[in-house]
Chains A and B, each alone.
Chain A
């Protein structure tokens, strides 16, 4: 038995998990759940939410970031040294702030106006991230050490799926952040995944005000 990921047919909160599984090269099943089936399926899930992951060793796990840490630990994308773990966790929180800020405005009717007023915040957040990346003593370009971790995969996920489509010009102003994004995209398994049909065409569902058309999410 291998891993089975259940989620809607969008990138959304499962994309990080797909990136970890794809980067690991491991076999996994993906069970798409269509929104029309959600009403029936929802009460069967641990927290009334998706994604969930069925695992061969510890049963079904809910909560995307709990799943992410489990997979990262399984596939050597989570450091064993405490100092390095802390750097990964700090980066994950900083990136979470960037994602949450965008998610908060992207369902709002006033999205176009909010998108403009939110730009300054995104710029400030990327500035902090740029500085944080430069503090990796190995100068590898990754968050910590000299190989990619969960933090780098999540950075790629949020930068590519949320920041780039909405704020491409702001992103260009941060070379370290841009370089990290390119480094992850060029990992052979990831490169292949990004071109494949396994990658959902859209990031967010139809009711969002953005990031829900293939053109926008290329």
Chain B
């Protein structure tokens, strides 16, 4: 590999960030999507679940993912990591209005995924239909929000962190469990398709860098087989 002159700029150019997580999409997928959309190089360190108990107390919050950036140090918390990388790679807007729309998009996406993850680890079969009704209302509002900006989160310069956060949730949590629901939410479907068609994202989705599973089998009751998570 390349020599380091010790100059900070050199280290930014020659050393890539390292993402540590389990070998599933889970809470790291938003981070992978930002890195991939940006065309940024990164290393992946997969943690085996059987090794987690030993590693856990050595982490800042007893959680994964964590990111090590040679220019910055170690960062915890998936959305803090993802936002940092988005800013670093110019996928986060610079004006307050668009930044606020990104933050609204992130919260709306989190509301959707948190509702689904809760039942995925709980009474999934019993709650799936009910959650579908909640999801219908959430997607109705998401459509309204995206329509304010011609179908994308904000601005007019292509996809950004907000779009990736929405895509992540639609593609990895909504679509596999509620395959027909986006048919009645065309604006959200449109965003999903636009992000999937972005050349870097499209390449990632076909690659073996994308983990085959969304949630960890043995813990989650769903989103834990390759067929389901295709």
Contact = CB atoms under 8 A, between A and B. Distances in A.
Given A46-B144, A70-B96, A132-B60, A89 B84 contact: yes
Contacts of B97: 57-58
Contact of A124 (B62, B80, B100, B137): B62
A170 to B, nearest CB: 17
B87 interface: yes
Contacts of A86: 72, 75, 80, 84
A103 B88 CA distance: 33
Interface string A81-116: 011011001101110010000000000000000000
A209 interface: no
A interface, size bucket: 20 to 34
Interface size band for B: 20 to 34
A66 B75 contact: no
Interface string B145-160: 1000000000000000
Interface string B100-124: 1001101110010000000000000
Contact of A90 (B75, B88, B137): B75
A189 interface: no
B200 interface: no
B61 interface: yes
Contacts of B186: none
B113 to A, nearest CB: 13
B224 interface: no
A66 B141 contact: no
Interface of A is mostly: helix
A61 interface: yes
Interface of B: 60-62, 72, 75-80, 83-84, 87-88, 96-97, 99-100, 103-104, 106-108, 111, 137-138, 141, 144-145
A94 B141 contact: no
Given A48-B137, A124-B62, A63 B107 contact: yes
Interface in A122-151: 124, 128, 131-132
The 6 closest A-B pairs by CB, nearest first: A93-B77, A66-B103, A89-B80, A63-B107, A66-B104, A58-B97
Contacts of A93: 76-80
A73 interface: yes
A74 B96 CA distance: 9
A73 B99 CA distance: 10
Nearest to B72: A83
A137 to B, nearest CB: 12
Given A61-B104, A83-B72, A128-B60, A73 B77 contact: no
Given A47-B141, A48-B137, A93-B77, A128 B62 contact: yes
B104 A63 contact: yes
A58 B84 CA distance: 24
Contacts of B78: 93
5 contacts: A69-B100, A70-B99, A74-B96, A93-B80, A132-B61
Q: By CB atoms of chain A within 10 A, which of B62, B87, B96, B145 has the most?
A: B96
A46 B83 contact: no
Interface in A36-84: 46-48, 57-58, 61-66, 69-70, 73-74, 82-83
A46 B141 contact: yes
